[in-house]
Amino acid sequence: MRFVVPFPAGGATDVVARVLAERMSVALGQPVVVENRTGSGGNLGMENVVRSPADGHTLLMGTMGALTINPHLYKDMGFDPLRDLAPVSMAFGTDHLLIVNPKVAAPDARRFVSLLRENPGKFSYGSAGSGSSTHMVAELFRLSAEAEPLHVPYRGSAPALNDTVAGNVQFMLDQAPSALAMVQGGQVRALATTGTKRFPLLPDVPTVAEIGLPGATATSWGAVMVPAGTPAPAVAQMNAVIRAALADPAVQAKLAAAGADAVSSTPEELATINARESEKWGRVVREAKITVN
């Protein structure tokens, strides 16, 4: 079996896929080999799976961005992820943190939102690039806050985070695992988290809903998909194996070390999540007029 990861090795998406592949190999009694097929924001890896036989021998570790944002950004993908891929199970989730440079004169998130509204165009935020999750979640925050900060795209989250620390941009909505060390080290301040509940490692940081912006709630996530038309018994078997793996405390610990929370679902629940997230991020792309080169 092939388990395609449409992003480079080493990131949370790749780590989760490799942990699940190991468990699936044992449970199914056959090798499950992870293949990293990168490019075009995840589109190349997705297309490889879409074009593969629907025989239960090819899986995809999809992500929120690839599955539900890319179709609204790339007009000529040649396939529709939600039509041409079938859901198996959710796999992981990560929240984002609203972080600011320590010199930003806002003691809390509510005051920071007020500063943004009072000073249109005078604050800037960094992201991993146009269309990335750190861009899209920040745009959702901007729309919810009814503010007008400037977007500064970088080639990845690391340089954007470094420039937030340096003060070249004033804030960022980075994924919690990436930003946590900088927050704990005092190099940036965390004002809010985008999750539905407070981030366990930063219990004093409120959620965006708690500061009056429930519309900014968002979580980056990954899910296992297969080519559309894969036999239902094969999907059911994979779902059972994946859910059992994600319920194992040892697997949960491995995912936590990579900054991810284990999250599972039925295929039907994942289909509902995909549809809901596609509608949500499509609206953000349209309202924020986001494009990619």
How far is 131 from 41, CA to CA, in rounded Å? 9
Residue 75's alpha-carbon distances to 6, 80, 135, 276, 288, in angstroms, are 19, 10, 19, 20, 17
Do 2-93+220-288 and 95-216 come out as alike in CATH topology? yes
As a dihedral over the C-alpha atoms of residue 145, residue 148, residue 154, residue 158, rounded to 10 degrees, the angle is -40
Asked if the model's pLDDT at residue 37 lies above 90, the reply is yes
Mean pLDDT of the chain: 94
Asked if the model's pLDDT at residue 121 lies above 90, the reply is yes
How much is the pLDDT for 201?
86
3-state secondary structure of 89: strand
How much is the pLDDT for 177?
83
The values of phi and psi at residue 265, to 5°, are: -165, 170
Rounded to 5°, the CA angle 255-23-64 comes to: 50
Q: Which residues pair with 207 in a beta bridge?
A: 193
Asked if the model's pLDDT at residue 293 lies above 70, the reply is no
Q: How confident is the model at residue 116 (pLDDT cuts 50, 70, 90)?
A: very high
Length of the chain: 293
Q: Tell whether domain 95-216 is in CATH 3.40.190.10.
A: yes
Considering the domain delimited by 2-93+220-288, tell me its CATH architecture. 3-Layer(aba) Sandwich (3.40)
How much is the pLDDT for 131?
86
Asked if the model's pLDDT at residue 185 lies above 90, the reply is yes
Q: Average pLDDT for residues 92-113, to the nearest whole number?
A: 96
Q: For residue 189, which of 204, 208, 209 has the smallest C-alpha distance?
A: 204
Where are the chain's structural domains? 2-93+220-288, 95-216
Q: Average pLDDT for residues 47-59, to the nearest whole number?
A: 98
Q: How confident is the model at residue 173 (pLDDT cuts 50, 70, 90)?
A: very high
How much is the pLDDT for 87?
98
Cα 213 to chain centroid, rounded: 20
How far is 207 from 174, CA to CA, in rounded Å? 14
Q: pLDDT tens digits for 236-265?
A: 999 999 999 999 999 999 988 877 899 999
How much is the pLDDT for 106?
95
How much is the pLDDT for 256?
85
Q: How confident is the model at residue 192 (pLDDT cuts 50, 70, 90)?
A: very high
For residue 179, the surrounding DSSP H or E stretch is helix 176-184
How much is the pLDDT for 168?
97
How much is the pLDDT for 200?
86
3-state secondary structure of 100: strand
